[in-house]
Amino acid sequence: MTCGQVGALLSDYLDNEVTAEQAAQIKAHLDECAECRAEHSDLLAVRNALGSGSVSLPEEDYWRQTEELILEKSARAEARIRPVPRSAERHSFTRAVMSLAASLVILVSAMLVGSDLQSQLALQQADDSPALVTLSLQESVGTRYRTFHAMDEQYKLTRSLILIAPPGSLGRFVLPPDISSGSSR
Amino acid sequence: MSKTIPELVESFIGGDEKAFAELMRRYRVKIYTLAFQILGNHLDADDVVQETFVRIYKRRAELINVKYFSTFLIRIATNYSIDLLRKRKSHSTMAEDSSSLPGQIQLDLARRVTTPLETFDNKRLMEEIRKALEELPPKQRITAIMHDVEGYSKAEIAKVFECPEATVRSNLHIARSKLKKILKQRLAKE
């Protein structure tokens, strides 16, 4: 065997994990080669040194505390991933149905308000001081501006009004620069 | 009569908390000593013990398909140890940070556990070996510790790392050679 071949097998040789034939060849080589013998001796020292260490174990009190901590942490993790109980599922389903029903009521109301507003909408004419106009089914400010037909009218109105109404009922108001600066069209 | 490991594992999968506690008692020393050898201090070893068992608890459904509980457990522990080694490297807060704390503080942090290195006959050599081990890449370090310190076979290590046995042989050989070189350099300086 060459030094390279022996070097590649030296670690396994230390662990008695080579064939009998390989072991005999390595031994013969080591008897003749001082360099490989030194390498073998060093590796053996490293392995023995590694194996000579021992860890002194913590006392029983430590293990008891650790066990409690692990069980506590595991229980917390379990709570996060625990499947939802059947009773909670039923409760959750009822809540979902009720939420859906409430949403529908709101949606229908909004549509009614919107359609009614489009026919009943009346806004006080713009004056110099801004006014807050709240629109509702009951509120009818007048009939002069019942509906919006042209953007021009919208500009006139929005110049000094803040409009609060269900989304979509009044269309989208955009305040152009010339209005915000005070000039009217 | 005490239950066997497969029996305990089966009970644990079925939700038996006592079986989990018993598994903990049977494997805690093994995990602790391995983690201590890899990480070199009690605080990290303690962290590995806790995290390993919490992970096992969370992943207990997977145990149905696990042939060897011990291998699965050690794999979790070594993977977590590797994570800690990498974090330690990236944060440059080495284990020395805790071992360099004043003795009393460290004892308090370690819940009054004596420093294991104190029990070595040749403390200085062991300290050199520990430092030399820290210079090895995680897998080589863990392979050397598992094989030469903890006495695992190459086949067992291969199962833990899910790699061919030849890779373990190669890692072990490289680790020993590097350790030899590092130790020689260190000891030659003195």
Q: Which residues of A touch B53 (CB under 8 A)?
A: 70, 74
Say what the pTM is: 0.59
Say how far apart CA A158 and CA A176 lie, in whole Å: 10
What is the model's pLDDT at position A93?
Answer: 64
Contacts of B24 in chain A (CB under 8 A): 67, 70
Read off the pLDDT band of A116 (50, 70, 90): low
Ranges A2-11, A157-166, B89-98, B106-115, most confident: A2-11
Chain A closest CA to B89's CA: distance in Å?
23
Give the pLDDT score at B15.
Answer: 87
How many Cβ atoms from other residues are within 10 Å of residue A81's Cβ?
Answer: 7
> Which residues of chain A make contact with B28, given a CB cutoff of 8 A?
63, 66-67
Partner-chain contact A73 B50, CB within 8 Å: yes
Which residue type occupies B186? R
In whole angstroms, what is the distance from residue B87 CA to residue A1 CA?
A: 44
A72-to-A136, B17, B48 alpha-carbon distances in Å: 57, 12, 16
How does residue A119 score in pLDDT terms, banded at 50, 70 and 90?
low
- Predicted pLDDT of residue A114: 60
Q: With contacts defined as CB-CB under 8 Å, which chain B residues touch A68?
A: none
Mean pLDDT of A161-178: 45
Closest chain B residue by Cα to residue A50: B149
Mean pLDDT (whole number) for A161-182:
45
Ranges of chain B whose pLDDT falls below 50:
93-121
In this prediction, residue A85 carries a pLDDT of 55
Residue with tokens 């080694």: B85
Mutate to test the interface with B, among A62, A76, A82 (most CBs of B within 10 A): A62
Residue A65: Cβ within 10 Å count: 13
Residues A52-79 have pLDDT tens digits of 767 788 888 899 999 999 999 888 877 7
| 48-77 of A, contacting B, C-beta below 8 A | 49-59, 61-63, 65-67, 69-71, 73-74, 77
Q: Using CA atoms, how far apart are residues A77 and A73, in angstroms rounded to an integer?
A: 6
Which residue of B119, B144, B169 is in closest CB contact with A12?
A: B169
What is the predicted pLDDT for the residue at A172? 44
CB contact under 8 A, A50 and B148: yes
SS3 readout for A66-80:
HHHHHHHHHHHHHHH
A86: which residues sit within 8 A by CB, 6+ positions away?
A: none
**Could you report the per-residue pLDDT of A75-94, keeping only the tens digit for each?**
887 777 555 555 555 566 66
By CA distance, what is B141's nearest residue in A? A50
Of residues A51, A52, A56, nearest to B116 (C-beta): A56
pLDDT in tens, B67-112: 789 999 999 999 999 999 888 776 654 444 444 333 333 333 333 3
Mean pLDDT, to the nearest integer, of A111-128? 53
